Amino acid sequence: MSYLLHIDSSSLGEASVSRQVAQSFRDQWQGPVVHRDLAAAPVPHLTAAGITARITAPGRHTPEQAKAAALQDELIEEFLGAGTYLFTVPMYNLSMPSVFKAWLDQIIISERTLSLTGPSPAAGRPALVISARGGGYGPGTPREGLDYVVPTLEAVLGRAVLGLDVTTVIPELTMAPVAPALAPLLPLHEASMTAAHDKARTLATTFGTAAAA
């Protein structure tokens, strides 16, 4: 039976807005879940052993290559076994948390999760990316164009690499309740939060119906 693979990467634990919105999705989701918390148990960054293991016959692996390959096998099996995906990836310094990038680098391997000649193995499977951020980065804002999280993940998780059918939920202005300079934007933050939780619940039902069909 396929499952929902939930990958968390926020360092804030229960205080994380990304995790809180993801919980609204999880509360509505009906079905098995595999949860990997990269903040609590980070996977290592890709090393030379991990790269060279991919192009070396298993029987010729060094101990370091064998260990790196075993980790990649575990993560890839977990990734490909899922039918639906939930990624909580907040914005840290305009980009994604390094633990999430490390996970991506471990699982993206040509002809295993990425195909150079046709659709990738997970192509078309639904995925939700929840990415909270302290400010606002949408059209018309002073920081428009500085979001290097969502566009990157839409490409890497979606059309350019893994082929997932990516939907995004973006709770914004999460610093408004605590940063005096952003206090006038508190109503916009509250509206963004409400919309994010509502959309997450709706998508859980939509994804679940598709998975059961």
Q: What are the domain boundaries of the chain?
A: 3-212
* CA–CA separation, 142 and 134 (whole Å): 14
What is the model's pTM? Answer: 0.95
Q: Provide the pLDDT confidence category of residue 167 given band limits of 50, 70 and 90.
A: very high
* CA–CA separation, 169 and 86 (whole Å): 11
Per the prediction, the chain carries an average pLDDT of 95
**Would you say the C-alpha torsion 17, 5, 42, 131 has a positive or negative sign?**
negative
CA distances from residue 141 to 121, 138, 147, 170, 173 in whole angstroms, order as listed: 38, 6, 11, 15, 12
pLDDT at 212: 74
**pLDDT (tens digit per residue) in 140-166:** 998 999 999 999 999 999 989 999 999
Tokens of 18: 């990304």
Q: Which of 98-107, 114-123, 149-158 has the lowest mean pLDDT?
A: 114-123
pLDDT at 1: 58
Quick check: 17 pLDDT over 90?
A: yes
Other C-beta atoms lying within 10 Å of the C-beta of residue 148: 14
* Phi, psi at 181, each rounded to 5°: -65, -25
CB 19 within 8 A of CB 10: yes
Architecture of domain 3-212: 3-Layer(aba) Sandwich (3.40)
Tokens of 181: 């300079």
pLDDT at 211: 79
Identify which of 186, 16, 196, 170 has the alpha carbon closest to the alpha carbon of residue 99: 16
| H or E element, residue 33 | strand 33-37
CB 130 within 8 A of CB 167: no
CA neighbours closer than 13 Å in the CB half-sphere of residue 146: 14
Beta-carbon contacts of 116 under 8 Å, excluding residues fewer than 6 positions away, are 110
Identify which of 9, 25, 46, 34 has the alpha carbon closest to the alpha carbon of residue 132: 9
Identify which of 129, 173, 98, 127 has the alpha carbon closest to the alpha carbon of residue 21: 129
